[in-house]
Amino acid sequence: MEQRKLPNATAVLVLGIISIPGCCFYCVGLIFAIIALVLAKKDKALFAANPEGYDNYSTLKTGRVLAIIGLILNILALLSIIFAIATFGWAIMNDPAALQQAMQGM
């Protein structure tokens, strides 16, 4: 029997890779990580139904791990943004000079 490729394995890998640097851009990588994990779950179910029929499961696993790492980094970045807003306030976060003065006062 000829082995096929999992349909979303490459997409999961690409989305997992994009989700990691996405944490630097206002946590936009969170979206990519969630999409990658949903696609990985679907392909994992396909692989579980017929393990001998697919040959790129390692690509799927790698993409899933990268998506989990990206998810964790994005959650940490989001929490740090929320902490900064809670600590300094929204008005100071929008004014770089006031933010620098508030940080020097700490």
Q: How far is residue 68's CA from residue 63's CA, in Å, rounded to a whole number? A: 9
32 in a domain, yes or no? yes
Q: What is the pLDDT of residue 76?
A: 97
Strand, helix or coil for residue 54: strand
86 in a domain, yes or no? yes
pLDDT at 91 over 90: no
Task: List, for residues 45-80, the tens digit of each pLDDT value.
Answer: 999 999 999 999 999 999 999 999 999 999 999 999
- Residues spanned by the domain of 82: 9-105
Tally the domains of the chain: 1
Q: How far is CA 4 from CA 35, 41, 55, 102, in A?
A: 23, 18, 6, 59
pLDDT-derived band of residue 1, with 50, 70 and 90 as boundaries?
A: low
Task: List, for residues 11-44, the tens digit of each pLDDT value.
Answer: 999 999 999 999 999 899 999 999 999 999 999 9
Cβ contact 9:59 at 8 Å: yes
